[in-house]
Structure 1
Amino acid sequence: MAITLKPLHPLFVAEVTGVDLTTPVPEDVFAEIHAAFERYAVLVFPDQPVTDEQQTSFSRLFGPLETAPNFAGTALRLSNEFTDISNLDHEGKLLDPEDRLTRYNLGNQMWHTDSSFKAVRAKCSLLSAREIPPTGGETQYADMRAAYDALPPERKRQVENLVAEHSIAHSRAKSGFDSFNSDIATALPPVPQRVVDHYPGSGRSSLFLASHASHIVGWPVEQGRALLEELIEFATQDQFVYTHHWRVGDLTVWDNRCTMHRGRPYDLRQRRVLHRTTVSDVVTNYQVTMAHAESRG
């Protein structure tokens, strides 16, 4: 084996060493990385001072890159192949805490799954730490496979075939941001996503939840939201959560299909700069799981 894996949590997450992401990754080495990705769901690559070009090259090994819409409608610092996880404006200066982009980014502090509000959801995200504040700003990850496994049998039966509607407008409204560009609603209408998914790569089932999940299709809205809140609270108990304390040069990769994550607060007067690339899944969650259900009769 070319790479070395060090588990960082009893249930998921592994540190990966023995590979240099600033150079092209050989096919056989990436096969080991992808196998670890399917097993652990979250991978941490320390001491990887990648450039944007090197990050995108590595990201494309996982699949096609998403482009990031300009949700806040402000000038952006990075190209649209990246999501700017920072508190900087397009000139590299600290954002005002009352800036539209700052208010939009506060939504990242809720438990969520990247791009669950898109018809073609995200397979994985890759986040590279460029500048880190002295304290705070950690990222937490929750293992939704382990959470599903721990559900009581009667709850598993209840949620197995449920569908939730996901919307970026819903999640950002919860964090107080309600001034999207006029074209966002047209470009990103609400989408259905199965609450439980099944993955042949790992052979495991997983909850698929997020702050973007608005309600359960076919249920009274408040009843569905209560269930979603209950499931998120259950899935984010301490035993299912890993907290990553960032170091400059860290690069993390996580499977959006079977984890949730959230950023933690930090002093906005301190620079925090991370660059995220996001890889699209091949087909929609809804298509895959409906096909699975049909195959089971």
Structure 2
Amino acid sequence: MPIQIKQLHRHFVGEVSGVDLTKPLTEDEARDIEAGMDQYAVLIFHGQDISDEQQMAFALNFGERENPRGGNIVKPQDSRLSTGLNDVSNLGKDGKPLPPDSRVHLFNLGNCLWHSDSSFRPVPAKFSLLSARVVNPKGGNTEFADMRAAYDALDDETKAEIEDMICEHSLMYSRGSLGFLDYTEEEKQLFKPVLQRLVRTHPAHGRKSLYLSSHAGAIQGMTVPEARLLLRDLNEHATQSEFVYVHKWALHDLVMWDNRQTMHRVRRYDQSQPRDMRRATVAGTAPTVAQQAAE
């Protein structure tokens, strides 16, 4: 049975059927899924009871694995996973929910803010693929915003104003907005701001998108208060309900999204209960702007 994709939202999001992710993809299947990502920006695969190795093999159809270094504060020796996947659970190495005062837990709460994965890297991520291994009984929906439709809905004056703006992105901005200010000197170096365009053009179809994220905390050539007000206004615009899809997780769902065209966030959930979510991240291939030292 060939791959079929059913659109779930007026602007984006496709529900995929006709593929078993426990098995290697054919060239045609990989091509159809990538084309679906270009069109829908978010794809939902239900009932995919996959291993870490199968999830990573699926992701590698679409590019290289992103190096996870610099994306969290977990020491390698304390990591729960050793398969190359990003651990976006609320679990420690012992498999139990992290304590409420855990530094890692407090840092990870930043995932509840609207963001684009790895916008804090000089070359930001292409695709993210998140697999639900244990679903939390209360809360934990993931929301996605279509940044193409949000850009299209801007007035011409605003489009012209922001066309060439360059933002500074850092994990310290997003975590700082929640009051997390506890960094080692090594982490401060890892999380130094990088530069990203505020408006991106997709390489496959040429549509423009807003490139927003909670990691963005400054705009070159603007005072910080002015920049943050503009970014706040754009975020409010881009996350209106008409641009947002809410995914309520079921066990073994896999959701795949294009970080170049979307933002997302997880909603609050019962942190005393386990939530095991594992992400494969496909590396981007080019910066959005030539990098220089962001002050």
1:208 aligns with 2:211: yes
Question: Which residue identity lines up with residue 37 of structure 2 in the other structure?
Answer: F
Distance 1:191 1:80, change over 3 A: farther
SS in 1 for 2:65: coil
Q: Is the 8 A contact 1:125 1:277 kept in 2?
A: yes
SS in 1 for 2:208: strand
Q: Is the 8 A contact 2:73 2:187 kept in 1?
A: no
SS in 2 for 1:183: helix
SS in 1 for 2:229: helix
Q: How big is the shift at 1:285?
A: 1.1
Distance 1:128 1:73, change over 3 A: closer
**CA deviation profile, 1:105-163 (whole Å, cap 9, x unmatched):** 10000000100010010001010000001221000000000000000111101011111
Rounded to whole Å, the distance in 2 between the matches of 1:176 and 1:89 is 22
| Residue range with higher mean Cα deviation, 15-24 or 167-176 | 167-176
Alignment of 1:1-297 (within 5 A): 2-69=2-69, 71-74=72-75, 75-79=78-82, 81-287=84-290
Aligned length: 288
Number of the residue aligned with 1:292 = none
Rounded to whole Å, the distance in 2 between the matches of 1:59 and 1:185 is 30
Question: Which residue identity lines up with residue 285 of structure 2 in the other structure?
Answer: V
**CA deviation profile, 1:10-33 (whole Å, cap 9, x unmatched):** 100001110010010111111000
Rounded to whole Å, the distance in 2 between the matches of 1:124 and 1:222 is 32
Rounded to whole Å, the distance in 2 between the matches of 1:153 and 1:125 is 31
Question: Which residue identity lines up with residue 201 of structure 1 in the other structure?
Answer: A
Q: Is the 8 A contact 1:129 1:274 kept in 2?
A: yes
State the identity as a percent. Answer: 47
**CA deviation profile, 1:87-111 (whole Å, cap 9, x unmatched):** 1101101211111111011000000
Q: How big is the shift at 1:278?
A: 0.9
| Residue range with higher mean Cα deviation, 194-203 or 138-147 | 194-203
Q: Is the 8 A contact 2:133 2:252 kept in 1?
A: yes
What value does the CA root-mean-square deviation take over the aligned residues?
A: 1.5
**Structure 1 unaligned residues grouped into runs of 5+:** 289-297
**CA deviation profile, 1:42-98 (whole Å, cap 9, x unmatched):** 000101111000011011111111122363245121137222111110110121111
Q: How big is the shift at 1:184?
A: 2.5
Rounded to whole Å, the distance in 1 between the matches of 2:20 and 2:183 is 39
Rounded to whole Å, the distance in 1 between the matches of 2:66 and 2:33 is 21
Q: Is the 8 A contact 1:73 1:180 kept in 2?
A: no
**Structure 2 unaligned residues grouped into runs of 5+:** none
With the length of structure 1 as denominator, give the TM-score of the two structures. 0.94
SS in 2 for 1:103: helix
Rounded to whole Å, the distance in 2 between the matches of 1:180 and 1:201 is 39
Question: Which residue identity lines up with residue 104 of structure 1 in the other structure?
Answer: F
Q: Is the 8 A contact 1:140 1:243 kept in 2?
A: yes
Rounded to whole Å, the distance in 2 between the matches of 1:205 and 1:264 is 27
SS in 2 for 1:234: helix
Question: Which residue identity lines up with residue 256 of structure 2 in the other structure?
Answer: V
Rounded to whole Å, the distance in 1 between the matches of 2:103 and 2:45 is 32
Q: Is the 8 A contact 1:66 1:81 kept in 2?
A: no
Rounded to whole Å, the distance in 2 between the matches of 1:99 and 1:134 is 22
With the length of structure 2 as denominator, give the TM-score of the two structures. 0.94
Rounded to whole Å, the distance in 1 between the matches of 2:205 and 2:146 is 13
Q: Is the 8 A contact 1:123 1:280 kept in 2?
A: yes
Q: Is the 8 A contact 1:103 1:176 kept in 2?
A: no
